Structure 1
Amino acid sequence: MTSRHVRRSRVRAAAAVTCLFALACAACTGGPDDTPSPDMKSEAAEGPVVVASGLDVTGSGGVRQQLIEEWNRSHAKNKAQQAKLVELPGGADQQRSQLLGALQSGSARYDVVNLDITWIPEFAEAGLISPMPGTGDGGGDDGTDDIDLDFIKRVHATTVWKGRSYARPFNTDVGLLYYRPDLLTAAGIQTGRQPTAAWTWDDLYASVGTLALSPDRTDDRAGWTTQLKQYEGLTANAIEAFASVGVELADSEGRYTSGPEKLKKGLDELLDRARLGRIQPAALSSDETAALTDFAAGRAVFLRHWPYVYGALKALLPSNAYSVNRLPGVSVLGGQNLAVTADSPRADNARALVTFLTSRESERCLLDAGFAATRASAYTDGSRWPCWPAVAAALRPAGDSPKAAGTADPPPSGAPSPSGEGASGEQGVSARAAYTRTLSAALNEAVQRPRTPYYGAFTHVLQSRVHALLAAKSPDSTAAAVKLDAELRDAFAGR
């Protein structure tokens, strides 16, 4: 038996168990109904190259589809190199389950998979994706022996597992602080006292205290809001709180490194951020859509959210009613990476497609459309490496409401419907340039969520314990830390 098959057998059982934590376990049996079977290898090898991905936050006919069409135009004479994008339904847990089941069973002929950055160790350990060329065992510890160094270093590190890079960064994400200058000014907080890159959480709390004294404050207005519903958004918020006080849960090899005392420190930091009187009470049940709705409606003055919201807000508020800066403390990375499946009979064409989709021009298209780009040149050399002309011309305000990665629920009835980049009310060139600088700086300082092939089990445990603590009338962080420590030890060990 080959080492790859040994790895697959060992991890397949763990992957099957973690499917139980997904929102739709039935999806583990295969891919979409219209996906052809891989049984006839010779026929399948002719094409197209199939890319499996979650839904595009830029809407129907968004930038990912436009990039696929640009690739197809440039390879119009070669049918074997044509590409097709298959969008998987549901939230992140459902998509992960579908991809795991499809690749393990061979029930879907995916050549390229667009993976959440937290899934790379799991798929690599299971032998479901191939190492990228030029990332052999003789490379550096961070897998950057001969990669394109234009990728932001911290973002590229999300592709690496055990010293080898298994993907290329496609689009990234990072937590940012959005705020309402109009509401701050109305409360007497002038421009000089509004958020800067040097802001701390204490600065935010001080402004929240001032807002509470404002005669213009309404009963339903809170200082800030975020995503504390029991889903991956809660994990991101928890890791940011933990990292802000120096608490790391695992090393680069996925080994658990924390303990009850450290966990209590991180839990206390999160409890402090979620204290009543500071945070919108609805945050405990808020996902990305609900938090954005509260912010746009003026029920929160500060908002922790992802970069796509910068484009979404253009359809919701006047340009002088919102702004953005770096998140106080530590921010966590999100995003997706493109990997070539281990059994793809079109591996060479698949790797060429990945190279195109993550090129300088393509990354600029992603940034222009509202994603956070993974290349440094997208933030500094836009004139030298502009978006592909046909893609730039096709980008338009999306008809569908954008949703953050991992958000499965539609906007609530009566909620504002955000649109994509280029919507009416767009902020000026200087504001866009300032946003781009802010985004680039945040990406260069952000941290990763734990790297482990058992991420599904880890995040399930963390969400469950943290949400229960936040919802408790008299939260006991000491007791919660002891329980969380025991459960995390098991999760990181694959038990």
Structure 2
Amino acid sequence: MTRPRSRSRATGPATRRAVRRAGLALGCLLLLAATACTGGGRDAPRPDGGKDRAADGPLVVASGLDVTGSGGVRRQLVEEWNRRHAGSRDKQAELVELPGDADQQRSQLLGALQSGSARYDVVNLDITWIPEFAEAGLVSPMPPAASEREADDDLDFMKRVHATTVWKGRSYARPFNTDVGLLYHRTDVLTGAGIPAGRQPSADWTWQDLYASVKTLGVSPRSTRDQAGWTTQLKEYEGLTVNVVEAFADVHVKLADADGRYKADPVSLKKGLDALLTRNRLGQVQPAALSSDETSSLADFAAGRAVFLRHWPYAYGALGGMLDPDRYGVNRLPGAAVLGGQNLAVTADSARAEDARALVRFLTSAESERCLLDAGFAATRDSTYRPGAKACWPRVAAALRPSPGATAREGAPKEQSEAARAAYRTTLHDALNAAEQRPRTPYYGAFTHVLQSRVHALLSDETPDTAQAAAELDSALKDAFAGR
């Protein structure tokens, strides 16, 4: 999809929006605890936020937890914005972090925006939520670029990444940080097994190459203590959906078209499910993968319980604090890799939309994107990965820099060389430019729930029947994509 240079504003009828608000707010009260709708905990949104306070206080940015830590890069960027607007009290901003996993955060944001129980000016949305929030009239379309310079700046975003902001021809957000599946490998284990560097993962590796290496290693895990060929995230949550979509894409199984209409059938679904099961069987997946998320799968890999790992870019920085650089490597995922990430959108009810859009532009600027990349996120701009890219804001860079003694302490892992980091950035950029999208639909929540529950049950079955599972999944997905 091409990116529109000019975007128009559109809002639904007020009465329709009022009905939607009331309906979803009631659903939130029935289905979730009160704190799940309005947030809870120290960093959660305040329940007295409503429209009476809409023009007072700071600009509020609602976001999920930052994987770079409590003093992470997102908070540092908001603080940099505040320093640059120190003389303007009405332009100060505040980052509110929502607790829970992605599904819980989505429920909190939907409940808060629909009911008006918390005042947000900017929301950091998972890329899969854009159609749902746009269709419900909860976020505003981005206005046309105000100048040629702004238009050129917009074109700096990677095309596949920017496409995640678009729904029905209009962009509703700006890309903040992106994500893509990568393959990590234990160089020390492969070398120790007699597999030379030339046979270890490279940009043109396939799953057959991985299977061949696993066969050479001779692993056959029966318990979580055994060494496995590979591990990933197969727990019943969004990580499982990502793994399924990647396996399906490898055998050209498409679940929906660009407008969110269901396109699969029992025959194609069986093909995709067979590919997923083959990947786990021939790859000798770690038994713990069925209950693993990002944290536990990374721990298994770092501990040597898996030789290969499918994970996100931030694992590269995390492994730097666990292993010496000669003990692991990273490359593109064999076959298809799914795009992830978050986009910043201005809420439809923000009383200071112009200031909120200026804040979004700052947080997604070339300098801010470099800060995100340096902190371990994947940046959304092409220019960030090129030689001569704009540097991170100096004070943010200083705040993110580890203390001098952190890497000097006895037993601490060595740092990756600049050459290794540059090679990693090239690998990451190439992977992002070839990444696949998950289905784009306003009913993504229903879709992913159906897929997770059905596929997890299949993976847990000792004698899986993929034909029957595909038929049942087909019926359930038809309903999910139709909003039934």
TM-score by length of 2: 0.89
How far off its partner does 1:34 sit? Answer: 3.3
Equivalent position SS for 1:315: coil
User: Quick one: distance in 1 between partners of 2:447 and 2:22?
Assistant: 16
User: Quick one: distance in 1 between partners of 2:51 and 2:233?
Assistant: 43
Equivalent position SS for 1:442: helix
Q: Please state if 1:372 is matched with 2:360.
A: no
Amino acid at match of 2:451: L
How far off its partner does 1:135 sit? Answer: 8.1
Q: Please state if 1:49 is matched with 2:55.
A: no
Give the aligned partner of residue 436 of structure 1.
Answer: 425
Give the aligned partner of residue 204 of structure 2.
Answer: 198
Q: Please state if 1:392 is matched with 2:402.
A: no
User: Quick one: distance in 2 between partners of 1:477 and 1:104?
Assistant: 40
Give the aligned partner of residue 264 of structure 2.
Answer: 258
Deviations 1:182-228 (A, max 9, x none): 000111101000001100100100000001179xxx97111100000
Amino acid at match of 1:78: S
Relative to 1, partners in 2 of residues 1:29 and 1:180: Cα closer, same or farther, differing over 3 Å? closer
Structure 1 residue corresponding to 2:286, chosen from 275, 280, 283: 280
Aligned positions of 1:120-139 closer than 5 A: 120-134=130-144
Relative to 1, partners in 2 of residues 1:394 and 1:309: Cα closer, same or farther, differing over 3 Å? same
Say if 1:173 and 1:306, in contact at 8 Å, map to a contact too: yes
Aligned positions of 1:464-479 closer than 5 A: 464-479=453-468
Give the aligned partner of residue 216 of structure 2.
Answer: 210
User: Quick one: distance in 1 between partners of 2:313 and 2:372?
Assistant: 12
User: Quick one: distance in 2 between partners of 1:174 and 1:467?
Assistant: 22
Q: Please state if 1:100 is matched with 2:89.
A: no
Say if 2:207 and 2:334, in contact at 8 Å, map to a contact too: yes
How far off its partner does 1:397 sit? Answer: 4.4
User: Quick one: distance in 1 between partners of 2:383 and 2:30?
Assistant: 39
How far off its partner does 1:3 sit? Answer: 2.9
How far off its partner does 1:5 sit? Answer: 3.4
Give the aligned partner of residue 356 of structure 1.
Answer: 362
Relative to 1, partners in 2 of residues 1:277 and 1:159: Cα closer, same or farther, differing over 3 Å? closer
User: Quick one: distance in 2 between partners of 1:78 and 1:348?
Assistant: 14
Say if 1:174 and 1:331, in contact at 8 Å, map to a contact too: yes
User: Quick one: distance in 2 between partners of 1:249 and 1:10?
Assistant: 31
Amino acid at match of 1:160: V
How far off its partner does 1:45 sit? Answer: 1.5
Equivalent position SS for 1:40: helix
Q: Please state if 1:270 is matched with 2:276.
A: yes
Amino acid at match of 2:190: L
Which ranges of structure 2 fall in alignment gaps of 5 or more residues? 1-10, 404-411
User: Quick one: distance in 1 between partners of 2:265 and 2:21?
Assistant: 29
Give the aligned partner of residue 405 of structure 1.
Answer: none
Give the aligned partner of residue 157 of structure 2.
Answer: 151
Amino acid at match of 2:17: R
Relative to 1, partners in 2 of residues 1:127 and 1:113: Cα closer, same or farther, differing over 3 Å? same
Amino acid at match of 1:356: F
Give the aligned partner of residue 183 of structure 1.
Answer: 189
Relative to 1, partners in 2 of residues 1:105 and 1:213: Cα closer, same or farther, differing over 3 Å? closer
Give the aligned partner of residue 29 of structure 1.
Answer: 37
TM-score by length of 1: 0.87
Q: Please state if 1:81 is matched with 2:86.
A: no
User: Quick one: distance in 2 between partners of 1:257 and 1:6?
Assistant: 33
Which ranges of structure 1 fall in alignment gaps of 5 or more residues? 137-143, 399-422
Say if 1:172 and 1:334, in contact at 8 Å, map to a contact too: yes
User: Quick one: distance in 2 between partners of 1:486 and 1:480?
Assistant: 10
How far off its partner does 1:134 sit? Answer: 1.4
User: Quick one: distance in 1 between partners of 2:231 and 2:140?
Assistant: 40
User: Quick one: distance in 1 between partners of 2:14 and 2:233?
Assistant: 40
How far off its partner does 1:239 sit? Answer: 0.3
Say if 2:133 and 2:442, in contact at 8 Å, map to a contact too: yes
Say if 1:111 and 1:346, in contact at 8 Å, map to a contact too: yes
Q: Please state if 1:165 is matched with 2:180.
A: no
Structure 1 residue corresponding to 2:236, chosen from 230, 254, 262: 230
Amino acid at match of 1:438: T
User: Quick one: distance in 2 between partners of 1:164 and 1:125?
Assistant: 11
Say if 1:176 and 1:324, in contact at 8 Å, map to a contact too: yes
Amino acid at match of 1:388: W
User: Quick one: distance in 2 between partners of 1:459 and 1:13?
Assistant: 25
User: Quick one: distance in 2 between partners of 1:166 and 1:494?
Assistant: 22
User: Quick one: distance in 2 between partners of 1:10 and 1:160?
Assistant: 25
Say if 1:134 and 1:146, in contact at 8 Å, map to a contact too: no
How far off its partner does 1:229 sit? Answer: 0.5
Relative to 1, partners in 2 of residues 1:270 and 1:25: Cα closer, same or farther, differing over 3 Å? farther
Relative to 1, partners in 2 of residues 1:147 and 1:342: Cα closer, same or farther, differing over 3 Å? farther
Give the aligned partner of residue 38 of structure 1.
Answer: 50
Structure 1 residue corresponding to 2:122, chosen from 99, 112, 133: 112
User: Quick one: distance in 1 between partners of 2:266 and 2:46?
Assistant: 49
Amino acid at match of 1:130: S
Q: Please state if 1:3 is matched with 2:12.
A: yes
Equivalent position SS for 1:427: coil
Relative to 1, partners in 2 of residues 1:425 and 1:8: Cα closer, same or farther, differing over 3 Å? farther
User: Quick one: distance in 2 between partners of 1:250 and 1:374?
Assistant: 25
Count how many residue pairs are aligned between Structure 1 and Structure 2: 456
Amino acid at match of 2:85: H
Give the aligned partner of residue 308 of structure 2.
Answer: 302
RMSD of aligned C-alpha atoms?
2.4
